[in-house]
A and B are shown apart, each in its own frame.
Chain A
Amino acid sequence: MNIKKITTILLAGIILTLTACYPENFNQTTFHPYGPVAERQLDIFWLILIGGIVVFLLVEGILIYSALKFRRKKDSPLPKQIHGNHKLEIVWTVIPGIVVLIFSILSINTLMYAADVPKDAEGNLGNHKSLHAIGHQWWFEFRYPHPNDDSQQVVLANEVYIPVGIPVRIELDTVDVIHSFWVPKLAGKVDMVPKPKDRNGVKDNNYMWFEASEPGIYFGQCAEFCGASHANMKFKIIAVTPSEYDAWLMTQIEPAAEWPDPLAKEGADVFKSAGCSGCHSLKPVAKIGSKGRLGPNLTHVASRTHLAAGMLNNTISLNTTTINDAYLQENLRDWITNPASIKPGNLMSAQATVYTDPDKALTESQISALIAYLTTLK
């Protein structure tokens, strides 16, 4: 065998081993990006990791070698007393200095790229979809521009659809504390920071952008500590083809179709009489900039793949968007019966009278009616 062959086999072996060891495609892994922003951020990570491994091997190698090689023996003479060497010290000042500067400059490229949607030839933001994400303790509200009415927004919660291959620019806001919006497979996080309004009533909100390169379900989670249920604040981004996206958006501007089921009708009355409607809107649209209600919008709650911001799954597996009604009803029952056990500290269990006042607690039949009604909100 010649050297070329050996090298080829060695290289193939190394690549195979690395592929085998490559982290699996878990739901929130940063190792499997599905969009240009996350991809570029991963590239920078690999670049620095390789540099880091070189430094690691060099330093740990010298350290271990010295500790073994220069061990003191009984007859070891006093070693040469060297107080320093300026030339050497200049070398290990200048070389690392140059390396970190190169890394910095390379990374600034990615930083600028990730900062905003790529510009078109005229210097304006290129083709993109805009949407609003608003952090609440502990769920996410999403608002889309209304496709037919410039003064309105479509209001959703915890789950949004985006078109594949089109940049999405998200304005990030919060109604209470700092949250952080993070979908690891699409882009690194940006915080949702409470900001004061300026004289014109406008807030200088943070924003971010990303683009999904493939249809799929992308998992997100709040990344900034935001109080008791910080761990229970998740969301999903569902990427579909642009035509599916347009069709989906048209369904979202209409209220759910009414079902002539008597139990559901009873549930609709409970929804009003028990005070649910005080915090949960059933209107799919709202005026731009209007302050939403306290709780998530429930207009199409039965079409969402999960309840309580990612805590309860309504689908058989995490990779499908097809709702299983039995799961949905069971989840609704769990949530309505004891929300504090699923999301400690949540506002509903702390403030809604059906939970705080034992006299007004929902009866079994009321709960069943409510579930029947909510299940119709497709």
Chain B
Amino acid sequence: MTLFPIQISIPSIPRPVKPTGLWSWLTTIDHKRIGILYGVTAFILFLSGGIEATLMRLQLSGPELDLVSAEVYNQLFTMHGTTMIFLAIMPMGAAFFNFIIPLQIGARDVAFPRLNAFSYWTFLAGAIMLKLSWIGGATNAGWFGYAPLTSVSQNPGTGIDFWIISLQILGVASLAAAFNFIVTIINMRAPGMHMMRLPVFIWMSFITAILLVLAFPVITVALIELTLDRYYDFNFFNVANGGSVVLWQHLFWVFGHPEVYILILPAMGIVSEVLPVFSRKPLFGYSTIVLAGAIIAFMGWMVWSHHMFTVGLGPAANAIFTITTMLIAVPTGIKVFNWLATIWGGSIKLNTPMLFSLGFIAMFLIGGISGVMHAVSASDAQQQDTYFIPAHIHYAVFGGAIMALMSGVHYWFQKTTGKMFGEILGKFHFWTLMLGQNLTFFPMHFVGLEGMPRRIYTYAEGMGWDLWNGVSTFGVFILIISFLAFMLNVIKSWKSGPIAPADPWDARTLEWSIPSPAPEYNFSEIPQVKALDDWWVTKQENPDIEVPDALENHSIHLPQPSYWPFVTALGILIAAYGVVFNDLLVPYLIAGIGTLVTFIGVYSWSLEPVNDPDEHTSH
């Protein structure tokens, strides 16, 4: 049956079939491979953000140093913030969403596999755009890009334009991915897995995806306004003509605060998976933890002005936002207490995933406490825009999100590669990471309270900042050693680690009921779910159950690879590069070519044939 008669007359390229090699990665729509792509790319970008941070720390290691210029320093911290948030931690979360969601809900792939590939390639396009801006002067107005520093008169170069376009592209990638995950979680669950049987990681992914869908349009609108200001002399943020610079701050933080929860909720999901497995106890208060996550996400919309306590919104506004921000500590506290109750009285095994999860609680708590300190606007008046804030954010996002993501890597590595992850190097990585991050970030509390503003490229001697800045910089070297050990561990374990059994941790969720590495088809038979922690319950009822080996040849129908997500994203990259230089002929041509490529990509995508002769409808 043909839906549209016109389809017959269009020459179409058959789908790619190669199972290995470069082309197989460029055209893959397997959620597991895309997850690996996301993870590896995000980690490389994490390293690039780390190099930017190292340069800053070297510059600040002592007073009045001259390693980088003021201008370069400003570009460094802007790029560091933007990179770590949008190019490292968010996509690392996406790596886990991709790899884990279908496995944990008992599905063979996500709802829209080609859209999933498109999300990845578009994300990569956005990342390339941002990093390209180093050629010719990167963006330098801070990751928050406050007006009017982003105006043409203050910032005539193309750095800001690269930043704007890059964030817009990343927004497209994130929105496509978020919709995909929402639909996947709602529609693709195995029979019997109703919502209150979803693993907590799935719940947190679901909430994160909803936050993404609601938050990104706000920053998109703000960035469009900024583009209009910069390219076409609009006056959204031009005070001289009646615009408002505070409008940008409201828009940015209405997006920016939920963004913080976009970074941390997946981390909380991972920890909620790991703690019960290594304590051999169910998660304490499953429904409370899920509800607390939802409440955090909901309240995350009511607290944005705590980033603006010193902007002069008035004592009434500051009082209200103090109370809402303080209240958000309550659901966060519930989660922490429930985690403690989970491990309390358990049978705890301190394997690397567990160490990282416990480390997450220990570090995230510090970030939470300092968060309460500047949630109170009266004491925030002394802390806002000082080093106290970087201390807080790094305990939340490095000690929090990164630690939990590392926990996830150690936990699911076996399912990804089929190899055991080296425990000794893993433990070395953990302890050096704990030491390094505390040396790096804890002193920032002190210098902040001793009056060191953030975002300064140098400082005078004798302010009481010298020693602690030196300690901070020293800590970075331990972090570097730590991550070198991690990379070595990944390479070594992947190449020559011992073969991993299907269920090495005696775990609870469905992904451990299939062979390691997870076969292309995930589940040879879609499981029937009868309880929360279904795999654990199954093992309790039937202790002798064995995971069957992966099938050599199977006739399970899977979505087929496609060229077009890659081509479409490539077109977006080309077009974006042209748009940045908006006033020249050649860039216009480039933008035109890019648009054409994207158009061809979308067109071919929609009319792509199916290789499988038995199939009559496209996916």
Contact = CB atoms under 8 A, between A and B. Distances in A.
Contacts of B146: 177-178, 224-225
B15 interface: no
B451 A28 contact: yes
| Interface bin, chain A | 35 or more
A124 to B, nearest CB: 18
Nearest to A30: B382
B326 A100 contact: yes
Given A52-B372, A226-B149, A344-B71, A195 B239 contact: yes
A252 to B, nearest CB: 27
Contacts of A62: 340, 344
A42 B282 CA distance: 43
Interface string B313-326: 01100110011001
Nearest to A313: B460
Contacts of B373: 45, 48-49, 52
Given A231-B458, A345-B71, A223 B319 contact: no
A38 interface: yes
Contact of B239 (A42, A93, A191, A194): A194
A296 B174 CA distance: 48
A330 B376 CA distance: 46
B324 to A, nearest CB: 9
Contacts of B149: 177-178, 225-227
Contacts of B362: 60, 63
A23 B468 CA distance: 12
A334 interface: no
B71 A84 contact: no
Contact of A72 (B71, B348, B361, B459): B348
A336 B456 CA distance: 24
B598 to A, nearest CB: 36
Please report whether the interface of chain A is mostly helix, strand, loop or mixed according to DSSP. Answer: mixed
B377 A111 contact: yes
Interface residues of B, number: 88
Given A31-B450, A114-B381, A225-B455, A194 B148 contact: yes
Contacts of A63: 340, 343, 358, 361-362
A362 B532 CA distance: 81
B281 A41 contact: no
B524 interface: no
A113 B306 CA distance: 19
B429 interface: no
Given A88-B341, A111-B322, A26 B285 contact: no
A115 B449 CA distance: 21
A248 interface: no
B69 to A, nearest CB: 6
Contacts of A231: 70, 453, 455-459
B350 A194 contact: no
Given A66-B348, A103-B326, A196-B242, 4 more contacts: A67-B350, A180-B384, A196-B244, A206-B311
Interface of A: 23-24, 26-31, 38, 40-42, 44-45, 48-49, 51-52, 55-56, 59-60, 62-63, 66-67, 70-72, 76-86, 88-89, 92-93, 96-97, 100-101, 103-104, 107-108, 110-112, 114-115, 172, 176-178, 180, 182, 184, 187-191, 193-196, 206, 219, 221-232, 318, 344-345
Q: Which 10 A-B pairs have the closest CB atoms?
A: A188-B381, A28-B451, A231-B456, A26-B464, A206-B312, A84-B285, A110-B378, A52-B369, A100-B326, A115-B315
